[in-house]
Amino acid sequence: MDYMLSTKEVARFIGVNEKMVYTLVAEKGLPATKITGKWLFPRHLVEQWIEANTINYPEPRQDLPPYDGILIVAGSNDPLLEKAINLFNRRHPEHMAVFGNLGSLGGLRALRRRMCHMASSHLLQEDDDEYNFDFAARELGHAPAVVNFCRREQGILVAGGNPHGLRSVADLETKGLTIVNRPNTTGTRLLLDRELEKAGIDGQTLDGYNNEVARHLDVGLEIAAGRADAGPGIRAVAGMLGLDFLPLRWERYDLLVTKERFFDPGVQLFLGLLPEERFRTLAASLDGYDVSMSGKMVFPAEGV
C-alpha cells in the first residue's frame, strides 16, 4: 500500500514532527482517514494538499507577448468549448484560437505563469456550492475576471442499458466492476473523489481508479469499447456515445482571465460569441448544457 502513508511517513514526507501532523489534520485539512484506529494518508491527496497550500510561487520569467492574433485557452476540456473555438476560428479568420488540455488546476497554473490568455475551470469549492474563486485566489494571488461559459451536468457514465444496474457512486464498489478515471488536476476528478469520500469509499480500492484518460470523451470511449464499466464525465458525452448516465450535479464552468489581458482583442471577440444565438444553437445540439448565464461576469456570493 505505497499509496497510503502512515503518520510517521507523512511527517517525514512534509518535514514536520508527528505531533504536528495531527494539528495539520485538525486545523489545516490535511487529508487523512482512520482505519482500525490508525491514521492513514493517501499520498496523492497529500501531494494535492501541499500544492493547494503553496504560496510564494516564483514569478514567470516572461509575460505573454502583446496580442498578435493567437488566442490561447488552457484548462478543462469540454465538447461545447471545442465547438466554440471552431466557431471563433471560422468567424474570425484573422485570429486563431488554440486550446491546451491541462485540466482545471493546470489551466489556472498556466494563467499564473502567463502562458495563456484564458483558463477554463470548474473547481468545486469546499462550501460545496461555489466554483473557482478560492482556487483562483490561491493560485494567482489576486482575483481574475470570471466569465461564465456554461452550466453543465456532471455524473457517472455507464454502458448503454446500465448492465450492472448502478444507481449511485456507492455502487462503484460492485465486485468485478472496472472504472476509468480523470487526472487529479481536473475538476471532474475532484468531484469524484469528494463523492467517494461522502460514500465512505477509498478510491484506491476501486479497480481502474488509477487508469487516467485526458478527456471526457476518452472516458466515454473506454466504456463504449468495453474496457471499463463506469467513469466520471458529463452528460454530453453520454448523449454523443449512447451511454447511460447517473447524474451527480449541475456545475458552473467558467473562463478566467487576468485583468491585464481582459481587453485583448481575441479575448473580447471570443467572449462576444457567448451571448449569440449561433453559440446557443451549438449548445442545444448537445445534451446536458445550460447557457442561460453564458457570457456573463460572475462574482463570489456574499461571505465567500
pLDDT value for 28: 76
- Position 37 confidence tier, pLDDT thresholds 50, 70, 90: confident
* Fold (topology level) of 70-152+251-290: D-Maltodextrin-Binding Protein; domain 2 (3.40.190)
Q: In the chain, where are the structural domains located?
A: 4-52, 70-152+251-290, 154-250
**C-alpha cell belonging to residue 178:** 472496472
C-alpha to C-alpha distance for 163 and 36, rounded to whole angstroms: 35
Give the CATH number of domain 154-250. 3.40.190.10
pLDDT single digits (tens) 63-88: 788 899 999 999 999 999 999 999 99
Output the pTM of the full model.
Answer: 0.81
From CA 186, how far away is CA 215, in angstroms rounded? 10
Residue 35 φ/ψ, nearest 5 degrees: -125, 125
Amino acid identity for residue 46 in this structure: V
Of the candidates 150, 160, 186, 166, the one whose C-alpha atom is nearest the C-alpha of residue 286 is 150
Per-residue pLDDT tens over the stretch 197-254: 999 999 999 999 999 999 999 999 999 999 999 999 999 999 999 999 999 999 999 9
Q: Which amino acid is at 149?
A: F
For range 176-198, the mean pLDDT: 95
- Residue 56 has what pLDDT? 55
In percent, the amount of the chain with pLDDT more than 90 equals 73
CA nearest neighbour of 191 among 129, 147, 109, 256: 129
* Per-residue cell: 191: 468531484
Do 70-152+251-290 and 154-250 share a fold?
Answer: yes
Predicted confidence (pLDDT) at residue 1 exceeds the cutoff of 50: no
Among residues 48, 3, 84, the alpha carbon closest in space to that of 271 is found at 84
Mean pLDDT of the chain: 92
